[in-house]
Structure 1
Amino acid sequence: MENWKTGKSGRLQATLVLLLSLCAYPVWGRDRLENLKDPNYWTQLCLLLAKSKPVEALPACERAIELRPGDPKLWAQYGALQLGQKQYPEAIASLDQAIKRQPKNSQVLADQCLAWAQLGEAETAIAACEKALKLNVNWGGRSPVVAQHRRSLIINQPEVYQESIKFYDQSLKQEPKDSLTLVYRCEALAKVGEFRAAIDSCEQALNGNGNWGGETPALAWSNRGFAYRSLNELEPAVQSLDQALQLNPTQAPTWFQQGTTLRQLKRPNEALIAYTRAIELQPNSSQALLGQCIVLNQLQQFDSAIAACKKAIAADGDWTPADIAQAWNQQSLALTKLGKLEEALAAADRGVGMRPDWAEIWNTRAVVLWYLKRPDEALASVQQALKLNPGDAQTWANQGRIWRSLDQPDKALTAYAEALKRNPQDAVVWANQSAVQWLLGDPNAALESANRAIAANPKLGLAWQNHAIALVALKQYAEAQKSYEQAILWDKTNADSWAGLGVVLLQLRQYDKAQQSLQSAISLNPNQAIAQQALKSLTDWQKQQSQKSPKP
């Protein structure tokens, strides 16, 4: 064995000990070396610090370049460090210096490609990546798959992703367990809709050799989550995205994906948290703001929903025409709930203008027009929605409401039947169908529809109310009383239910309770005609009975 003081390995070991001890000193301990003009010292320090302390490596690399300005490797290392610190213009300039001194260098060109891409210079970035791949020499610490990956992301076309998949497959023949190649392959497979294969590739990446290049395992979990969500397998999607966010909680796109998945799972409170986090990281994201707007509407926070959608429209615009139309649609829905119907109609009209081939915005517009008591226009709008999407249950249900307001109960019944074919669990539609059947003089059918409504949603006051109305028509007053009481249990502010209960109690000769119910109805709605008439009849009858009573 060589003596550590005299042998080559000993001298290297001694140099490393010295350098590491210098790195451990506080800043003032190294000041005296600033004037050291040994290029080998600064070059070694630059390379050593680049892996462990990239920020501290920058001044060491600068000093090395001052002493050895013709060294392309130093310029390449310096540019790579600047790229890692997101100093993109500086990185491009330094990498240019490396290329001047060594034109055939794929690593430098690939790094330039990454920097140009971050600056939004797509064509220049693609050209640099393609040149790096064409040269295919001197990759250094950069893998060729990085250049291929960046090129495919910038071009963002299916045929380019297919090319990339073939490229990754070739690379994997040399290193089958390379995590970086496998995760890029996963991403490309997901982009072309091969979601099962994508999931398998991401899982292979997670179980691979641990070489992630400049990426982290979070990318594999995120792409795995995207693939599961695309397959509508939402629970494993949430779990994958959770893993990604635990590893890297600063990725706004992953928070956005998580928010959308949770929204699809009908977990709006959690979705709101995820969207809000995405917006904190990327305040100008139109997509995240739109997602926030949608869940705020679901949570009935309508003013906040409107504000979020307005911000989305004014933000970065990185979304599709469908998203813009949805932003106007969501505004219209919120404004309708707030009773601002003219503004709601204006928003719906903007949505129609943005996307006239979208059924949902025509349906929203129809609802607004119905509330504005413009049923003929509402009918035309809902029919346009059905022309575009005849399979939507809610649109058929809305058409039923409009036909009913136009005093066309037969057509309303047909529309409700179409809605229930497509969604037999919609309690409100069953309840509305019950009301129409009662109007058409079929109380037995009305009772059956009300029973279906109650089965679908036992807490729906409207269902119990219509159940009671059908029982009254069948003169089953005791049962009707129970149904009205259930209706009031779930909706204590419904004056019509209180009035109906009062009338039933009159039939059952429970006069004191009847009077209390009728008075409750009038206190809730002084213009409730049935309660007014019944209470007057009861009062008149009580006066008559009082007059008939023998005087003492």
Structure 2
Amino acid sequence: MKRIYRYLGVSLSLSTILLQLPVSARSDNNSVSNNTPLYSLGLLIAENLPQAEFDYQDFDFWSNQCHVLENAQKYDEALAACEKAIALKPKRQNIDLWISRSNILMQQQRYAEAIASYDRVLKTEPKNSFALTQRCEALSLLGNNSDAIAYCEEALHVDGSWGSITPATAWFNRGVALRKLTRPEEALTSFERAVNLNSNYSVALAEQCGTLIDLQRYEEANKACDLAIKTNENWGKAKEAIAWNNKALALFNLGKMSEAVAAYEHALAMNPNDVTSWDNQGMLLHKMGQYEKALVSYDRATEINPKYSLAFAHRCDTLNRLQRYEEALSDCDRAVALTSTSNLGNENLAYLWHQRTNALLGLQKYETALDAAERAIALKLNYAEAWSNKGVILWNLKKYEEALVATKKAVDINPKYIQGWFNYGRVLSSLQKYQQAVTAYDQALNEDVKLVDNFTLASIWANKGVVLWRLKKYQLALNSINEATKLNPDSFEGWYNKGVILLDLARYNEALIAYYKAKEINSNNASVWTGIGIALARIGKNQAALKAFETALNINPNSTRAQRERDVLLSKF
């Protein structure tokens, strides 16, 4: 009776597999000798194990094992088998073995070695489109996207042997590399070509969705993601979660917040250990102003992958918004320390240094913050936010003319940058260029403010009110301040400035109400108590006014306005 031996579910004849080790391959302590192949013996399962010795120089056996183990995704054993077969007959072309070896190295994320292995294929078959396309992908994964594009284009040009893939794969890999190089229009064309060749190419549709988001074409992006999810085929190494992630971003930019949150929930339900989904969910919650919930998402991402530097950078951003600057700086520093082991790319590195700048700004470490801002700008020359931050730092260092240049650069780069116009206005105001400052604030408020938090909007209105007050346009100033306190009822600057304007309008009782509101928010401010004292004195409540002036001077003995008003009041007793 012919004995049949099973290998991982594949039936093989007796001449193919004999599990018993030959005597010459054993050692006295029953361990495998240095000459034993590196594949796992436990993977070979035999029935009625024969006692015959096996010829380890059998090329056909190792060649077969190379492919079978590759298909079984036993990559370490497969690689050893491939290399054993190649070593047995090195003078053969062995194209199929070199391709398997290369593919295995790709699966092991050993991209540089995979490239060298594909080069061996291309040396023999220069028009092997499969090897050219795979080399393109490996180069892109190593960050060498310009060369990657060239190899994908060469694969399409020669249109040679495609093996297990089609030209759609080359168009897809070309699109990925182009997108990484921030060339979205070209990337979109590449993904469209891939989808035209293979309408069921879900991962290409998902990348097409992402590229349309890059181009701010959110409705089209949402439709592309829906099609990817509906088709649900040919994901390659990706997962369906990538489409749900991109759909969430498209929905967010369309202002459909609850639907965006639901899309991220879909992504996480499919892959609860996907750090990208957790990180993206955190960014969405951050943009929605739900900062504490965002921190929970980032924490989950960093629990899954403690070396995920981008999540630490995003966490730093959120902590900056919460004004928890020490913690923010710690997270940014953690992200910086991890950059040596991660491939963030210049875009994300610039963002990281920008957030570190924000943390240092919050801690009033202006010189160090300036260095961080310069690092961000060096990584991304057209980084409007970093230029604006640089201006704010210079403004705090009282280098107003330099600050003006930096903040103007920011709005020149991005004329729709609301915070940039706000900062530019503040610098203009410091230089007493009040009318230009009003124009800058108006520019900020005329942009699409739906994604700007109320705190920032209230600050813009409050600062505009101060400048209008400087221009003696009191009613317009009061209107601006009212907008500020409506948007942010806890705006100290809003209520304080309202008190100042109402004093100038001789509306003392209303001024008193505004100052008391400011006092509730910050009772340790000498200017607030001085304002309270002035308003009380103007309505004849001299004793209460005197107490207010004394409180102001206890807080700040050098407050000349409080001293002067107190002395005038005392002269009346």
TM-score if structure 1 supplies the norm length? 0.69
Residue 496 of structure 2 is aligned to residue 496 of structure 1: no
Q: Which residue of 2 aligns with 1:150?
A: 173
2:108 to 63, 85, 103: 85
CA distance in 1, matches of 2:148, 2:252: 31
Stretches of structure 2 lacking an aligned partner (at least 5 in a row): 20-38
Moved more, 295-304 or 478-487: 295-304
Do 2:169 and 2:194's aligned partners in 1 also have CA atoms closer than 8 Å?
no
Of the candidates 517, 525, 539, which is equivalent to residue 486 of structure 1? 517
For residue 311 of structure 1, report the CA deviation from its aligned partner: 3.2
Query: Aligned partners of 1:412 and 1:128: how far apart in 2?
Result: 52
Which residue number in structure 1 is paired with residue 196 of structure 2?
Answer: 169
Contact 2:346 2:380 in 1 (8 A): no
297, 301, 310: which one pairs with 2:320? 297
> Is residue 174–residue 190 contact of structure 2 (8 Å, CA) maintained in 1?
no
Structure 2 distance, partners of 1:131, 1:34, is: 51
For residue 550 of structure 1, what is the aligned residue in structure 2?
none
Query: How many angstroms apart in 1 are the aligned matches of 2:3 and 2:44?
Result: 32
2:336 to 311, 314, 334: 311
Match of 2:363 among 327, 338, 349: 338
Query: Equivalents in 1 of 2:542, 2:52: separation in Å?
Result: 103
The structure with more radius of gyration: 1
1:44-193 aligned within 5 A = 47-55=67-75, 56-58=77-79, 73=96, 76-88=99-111, 91=114, 107=130, 110-111=133-134, 113-115=136-138, 118=141, 129=152, 139-154=162-177, 158-159=185-186, 162-163=189-190, 165-172=192-199, 177=200, 179=202, 182-183=205-206
Structure 1 CA distance for aligned equivalents of residues 203 and 463 of structure 2: 57
Distance in 1, matches of 2:438 and 2:144, equals 59
Of 211-220 and 425-434, the range deviating more from structure 2: 425-434
Is residue 61 of structure 2 the alignment partner of residue 36 of structure 1?
no
Aligned in 2, Cα 1:423/1:51: closer, same or farther, shift over 3 Å?
Answer: closer
Q: What is aligned with 2:553?
A: 522
CA shift in 2, pair 1:394/1:231, >3 Å: closer
Structure-2-length-normalised TM-score: 0.67
Separation (CA, whole Å) in 1 of partners of 2:479 and 2:391: 29
The alignment yields a C-alpha RMSD, in angstroms, of 5.6
Q: Which residue identity does 2:490 align to in structure 1? A: K
How many angstroms apart in 1 are the aligned matches of 2:377 and 2:139?
A: 38
Q: 2:486 aligns with which of 455, 459, 467?
A: 455
User: Residues 120 and 250 (structure 1 numbering): CA distance in 2 closer, same or farther, change over 3 Å?
Assistant: farther
| Distance (Å, rounded) in 2 between the aligned partners of 1:408 and 1:93 | 63
Matches of 1:192 and 1:35 in 2, distance apart? 65
Residue 264 of structure 1 and its aligned partner are, at CA, apart by 3.8
User: d(CA) in 1 for partners of 2:362 and 2:114?
Assistant: 53
Q: Which letter maps to 2:74?
A: P
Contact (CA 8 Å) 1:162, 1:188: kept in 2 or not?
no
Distance 1:306 1:484, change over 3 A: same
Greater mean deviation of Cα atoms: 473-482 or 378-387: 378-387
Measured after TM superposition, the shift of residue 488 of structure 1 is 0.9
Count of aligned residue pairs for this structure pair: 529
Helix, strand or coil at the partner of 1:212: coil
**Do the aligned partners of 2:3 and 2:13 also contact (CA within 8 Å) in 1?**
no
Provide closer, same or farther for how the CA distance between residues 137 and 224 of structure 1 changes in structure 2, counting only shifts above 3 A: farther
| Counterparts of residues 348-497 of structure 1 (less than 5 Å) | 363-373=388-398, 375=400, 401=426, 405=430, 426-435=457-466, 447-473=478-504, 475-497=506-528
Q: Does the aligned pair in 2 maintain the 1:292–1:305 contact within 8 Å? A: yes
Q: In the TM superposition, what whole-angstrom CA distance separates every residue of 1:250-308 from its partner, at most 9, and x where no partner exists?
A: 767666655554544444455566667479859596x7776555444333244565673
**2:513 and 2:571 mapped to 1: Cα distance?**
27
Alignment of 1:503-514 (within 5 A): 503-506=534-537, 513-514=544-545
Point out where structure 1 has 5 or more consecutive residues left out of the alignment. 545-552
Q: Where is the helix percentage greater, Structure 1 or Structure 2?
A: 1
